């Protein structure tokens, strides 16, 4: 069952059937260059999937499989997950895409679909993104979808930028984009 649909993408819960293609994506050093977890092997991917299943069950959110409509291929993941940052529970937007999908607007499109679902259907008040300041592409995605100001903090022993977008900012963004 697909939970989110955009013009080019379908998002659904990850499953064990995604293990092989997801491992292929997450073992790529270029894909994982800015990940606090580093490159994944099969064992780390399985642990990630188990964590996703726990998120779905306990929180009703979690990273979702990102499927290209035209090919039905797993492209990576995008979704919300609980994250503890500086002793505070947050809802974090995260995504990873296979290299062949970079630079085509898929991260932006999936993020917009995910945020729209979060603010319209899940009654989430605030979403953060945690970005390595050197990750220029991810910074561009965050700004395109409406994240503006950031705080610097340490996350998993790395200096990161933490951007926040709240429900009212999202509503204003949607209103201004539909009228402008």
Sign of the Cα pseudo-torsion (33, 90, 49, 143, in order): negative
Top pLDDT among 78 and 154 is at: 78
**Rg, Å, the chain Cα set:** 15
Render pLDDT for 106-150 as a digit per residue (tens, 0 to 9): 999 999 999 999 999 999 999 999 999 999 999 999 999 999 888
**Domain ranges for the chain:** 2-179
Structure tokens at 14: 């990850």
Render pLDDT for 75-100 as a digit per residue (tens, 0 to 9): 999 999 999 988 899 999 999 999 99
In the chain, the N- to C-terminal Cα span, in Å, equals: 34
Domain 2-179 has CATH 3.40.630.30: yes
Integer Cα distance of 20 and 43 in angstroms: 11
Torsion, CA 111, CA 117, CA 123, CA 129, rounded to 10 = -10
Integer Cα distance of 145 and 173 in angstroms: 9
Cα dist from 4 to 23, 39, 157, whole Å: 23, 28, 33
Element (H, E) at 162: strand 158-166
């Amino acid at each position: 069952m697909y939970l989110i649909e955009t013009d080019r993408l379908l998002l659904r819960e990850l499953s064990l059937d995604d293990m092989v293609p997801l491992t292929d994506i997450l073992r790529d050093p270029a894909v994982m260059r800015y990940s606090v977890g580093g490159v994944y092997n099969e064992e780390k991917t399985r642990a990630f999937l188990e964590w996703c299943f726990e998120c779905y069950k306990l929180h009703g959110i979690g990273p979702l499989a990102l499927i290209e409509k035209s090919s039905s291929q797993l492209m990576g993941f995008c979704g919300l997950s609980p994250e503890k940052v500086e002793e505070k529970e947050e809802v974090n937007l995260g995504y990873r895409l296979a290299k062949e999908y970079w630079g085509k607007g898929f991260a932006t499109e999936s993020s917009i679909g995910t945020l729209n679902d979060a603010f319209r259907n899940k009654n989430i008040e605030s979403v953060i993104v945690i970005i390595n300041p050197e990750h220029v592409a991810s910074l561009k995605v965050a700004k395109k979808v409406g994240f503006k100001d950031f705080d610097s903090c340490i996350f998993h022993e790395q200096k990161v930028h933490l951007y926040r977008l709240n429900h009212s900012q999202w509503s204003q963004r949607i209103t201004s984009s539909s009228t402008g």
